[in-house]
Structure formats: C-alpha cells, structure tokens
Structure 1
C-alpha cells in the first residue's frame, strides 16, 4: 500500500507539473500577442531565446539569431499599422519532456486593408526556469 501511495503521489506531481508548464507556455503566447498588439516588437522578442542559435523559418527561408530575427520583424512591420491586431488559435501544446515543448497554432492579423494569416510551429525550451521559443516556423 505504501508503494502504491508513493507511485500515486509521484504521478500526481507529474500531472500537476505538466499542467503548470502548459499554462506557462500559454502565458508566454499571451505575452507575445499583447506586446504585438501594443506595437512593441522589442517586448514581443523577449519571448524568444536571446541567442545566435535561435532559428526562425518563414517564407524567405531560415534566419538564425535573435538580433537577425528582430531586425527582420522591424523591417517587415515598421509601425503599428503594419503590425495590425494579432490573434492566435492554439491547436496543440505538446510537452516532450521537462524542458522541451512543441506548440502548433494559427495566427491572424487584422489590418486596415487586409487580414493575413497562417500557421506556426514553435519549439519551446525551458531555459533557466523560463519557457522561451528556440525555433519558430511560421507560414
């Protein structure tokens, strides 16, 4: 019985941690959306791993590095009108292990003259206790 109780407590702990990690990742996504909708690319970029190893894959192919990714965002979205209003539809959050997660979702921008949208896959890694995007493939 003691062994069963120990296993039950361990399983419960894993389930709780799993749920907390999913919530933390969704909070990062909310923070990202909020920063974007405030026209603040610098705050938006704080959800990404600040490393030369960050990878962003878009229609032009891969970009490596946090600064290069930031520069591309600033060129592509020079002002709040270009940024529009961002919404996400999260389709899946899959925790791979204690420090890696995969997120699949859709994105939409509402702007004065158009409403582009697409899908993304994100690889999150827990670095120093914080969930950060280490690879973003957006189309």
Structure 2
C-alpha cells in the first residue's frame, strides 16, 4: 500500500538551527522537504542522528541508519522522484526537544513512470546531539486516507 518506503527524514547545513517556535519549525520542516525535492541521500544523512534508523521498503524498519540512507539513495539513483506539498499540523517543544507533525500530500513517481499518490503524516523528533546540532532523532510515517 505505502510505496514511499524510506523515511524520511528530512534539512541542510542549516540544521543547526533550533526550531524554537512555529515559524522556525516551519523553516526547519521546509529544509527537511528538500531531501525529497533534491532526492538527496547525502542531505538525509546530514540531518539525522547516528541512532536514527528510518524506514525500509514498504514500512519495514531498516537495520540501521546506513541501511535506511542506502535504500533512499537507491530510490534516487534509480530515477524515482517525489512531489510533495508539506504542511505543518502540530509543533510541540519542551526544552530543546521538538516534535513536528506534518502532512506530506503528493506523489512518488517510479522510474517506469508509475504515479503513486501519497497522503502521509510524518512525525519528527528533533533534538540536539552532543555538539548542540539539531538533528532528527526519530521519525514516524503513517498513511492517511
């Protein structure tokens, strides 16, 4: 059912920016969206903590971060494209830990040109690592109807 398999998870060198309110959380989420717009496994690697495991094919958990990044990379290298509109649904903050729930509405286009509509709720837990850089520590992906 859910063909978008690698989660997600998803900013750039500006990821050191802490989302302290709703507007900065929107900016951080927009950076996350760039992972899909650019189909960039390197960017995904930059914005996720070493403990992040992501999702494997068809919603299965990947063994580790490297496995999740490699799966996403293979989608991109095979010509898969993503076209999502992202809107923030909720943002919670406690100290330096932020939870962002967003809706990703759009589609994934396979190398064969097959269009797969997706209506996804993406939940990201963002917190600083040992150096203070804000990274995705955990992510969750749910299909919406």
- TM-score, normalised relative to structure 1: 0.67
Q: Is the 8 A contact 1:107 1:119 kept in 2?
A: yes
Unaligned 5+ segments in structure 1 are 1-18
Counterpart-to-counterpart distance in 2, 1:122 and 1:20: 12
- Give the match for residue 121 of structure 2: 119
Q: Which has the higher helix share?
A: 1
Counterpart-to-counterpart distance in 2, 1:93 and 1:66: 25
The two structures, once aligned, show a CA RMSD in angstroms of 2.6
Higher relative contact order (CA 8 A, sep 6+): 2
Unaligned 5+ segments in structure 2 are 1-17
One of 110, 135, 138 as aligned partner of 1:135 = 138
Q: Which stretches of structure 1, 4 residues or longer, exceed 4 Å deviation after superposition?
A: none
Count of residue pairs brought into register by the alignment: 117
Q: Is the 8 A contact 2:52 2:137 kept in 1?
A: yes
Larger Rg: 1
Counterpart-to-counterpart distance in 2, 1:114 and 1:47: 26
